[in-house]
Amino acid sequence: MKVSGAEVERNVTHMRAETSTVGLKEFIRRSLDGPVMRELDFDLKLGRQLKILTSEYSIHFNPDEIICDDALADAIWEAALQLLERVGVYNLDTNRVVLLRRAEVEAAAAGVPKELVVGEGKDAVTVKARAHDSKMAPIVMAQPARSSRYKGGLKAFFARMMETYVSDAGPLGKLARQLKSELGGIPYLAETPGEMMWARAEVRWQRAVAGLIGKPGLWLSGAEVSSPPAILACYMEEGLLNKFNSYISVHLMPELKLDWDCLRLTYAAQTMDVYRFCAADPILGGYCRNSEEAAIVAVATLLGYMVYASDKGIVHTNVIDRQGNYTARGPLQASAAARRAVERKLAIPMHGNQSTRNGLGTTSGLYELAALTLAQTGSGMAWAGRGYACGLGPDGEYRVDLDWTFVSRISRGASGLSREKTNELLLKLLRICESQDATDEGKPFDYYYDVKTLTPALELVALYDRVEEELQSLGIPMG
């Protein structure tokens, strides 16, 4: 007997009414028996509802305020809850909509950890939530250089690193020779066994380096690979990733979509008791026509993720525009508003991202980094980490040790500033950033650093010192 879409929706609504919590298993069930819908129809419905909700809740950003006030943050939260209830989450593999009630979403959000312990043993760090104007500074946790934007991919850089050490007599030389032999000339190709082999080799290298510097329990983030088999291969034995030093990414896709890979990885992470990580990065200029809509989607994305992965969840948001820019005024406003909404309603530790358009060793890139750090600190970021890229330059370079010192000094200095003062300083920075029309790609990593000793060139050190002095002259405090 053929069942109409209306009957299916009534059945799902009845099923939802029987429980106040959802969780992963129920989310999987709804991915199988939720209402059928074409992806295009889901996108159109999402766009219509965003327009309606922006008007319904009178959500409008002041162009001269990057950090929004409490009332606007609360309105964005309410609009995000409504968006999830009216639109749901779309499973691309089943072409079905996972319908969610407000009470279910709120129950899931209440289960997100209020603090995180990342790292192991003496290297463990406790991360707590912080308010936008808290005097407690965000924790800055630099991890090994990692970025898929590197020309040829991160594995190309890893291969160069191994070649640099292969003739060394020390423990890294021994490991480099061993890994080179084990890889046996197999190239790194996504969705192949080579991806699994290279991912494991990279993690072994990171663990070895952490041990050599006296931090064997160092927090390493997640595997820098895309396919579930390669990610899970990094957990297959002692000495690789584990529940203390890593997370598994289980993001919703832009906008409010997922697939079976996301839920498979969630199940694996849940089984292994590994942190689940969600980066809500809506695309401004796509289905989100403006920064107000992007802020709503960012919060809705985090809330949707919490329904299936909240019990050990790490959350992060940064809006990006269609040019890949995180630091333009619109993306900054949207991501700051989303963090403020979550800060006020959940008080959970929000993670920050340090990606810039301009490259390594550029004045413009450091001004961007300063604006990004100031906006994140002033909107409730609790911790920053992971080696996000600086620029799309000739080699798509990485955050380096001087970057993390720079981020730490700005975030410490900005902690405790009022919203009004933070906005005043951000406007000064944005006027400078927005006056730069062209992107400065900078120079390759190995122009500034010896790959083996990792000693920075004097000209790079001088650049950071000069920019810090310029920022202080603008009134930006350095901690």
Cα atoms in the Cβ-side hemisphere of radius 13 Å centred on 224: 26
In a domain, 291, yes or no: no
Q: How far is CA 214 from its chain centroid?
A: 27
Is 320 within a domain?
Answer: no
Which pLDDT score is estimated for 392?
54
Extract the residue ranges of the chain whose pLDDT is less than 50. Answer: 1-19, 146-151, 393-395
Residue 216 CA: distances (Å) to CA of 121, 171, 196, 385, 475: 9, 15, 23, 18, 40
Domain membership of residue 170 as a residue range: 115-250+331-336+344-473
Structural domain includes residue 72:
no
The full DSSP string for 181-216 is: HHHTT----TTSHHHHHHHHHHHHHHHHHHHHTT-T
Give the CATH number, domain containing residue 421: 3.20.20.460
How many structural domains does the chain have? Answer: 1
Assigned domain for 5 exists: no
- Residue appearing with tokens 């993720």: 305
Show the tokens assigned to 245: 């030093």
- Angle of helix 154-165 relative to helix 193-212, nearest 10 degrees, comes to 50
Q: What integer pLDDT is reported at residue 1 of this predicted model?
A: 36
Rounded to whole angstroms, how far apart are CA atoms 386 and 152?
20
pLDDT one-digit tens code per residue, 87-117: 999 999 999 999 999 999 999 999 888 999 9
| Spatial separation of the C-alpha atoms in residues 247 and 258, rounded to whole Å | 18
Residues facing residue 313 across a β-bridge: 276
pTM: 0.91
> Does some domain include residue 101?
no
Distance (Å, whole) CA 316 – CA 306: 12
The DSSP element (H or E) to which 140 belongs, if any, is strand 139-141
Rounded-to-integer distance, Cα 44 and Cα 52, Å: 12
Q: Per the domain annotation, does 34 fall within a domain?
A: no
- Strand-pairing partners, residue 389, are 398
30 part of a folded domain: no
- Residue 292 belongs to some domain of the structure: no
| Secondary structure E strands in 142-296 | 247-249, 257-258, 275-280, 283-284
Helices (DSSP H) in 5-58: which residue ranges? 5-17, 23-33, 39-56
User: Up-side HSE of residue 337: CA atoms within 13 Å toward CB?
Assistant: 37
pLDDT given at position 134: 96
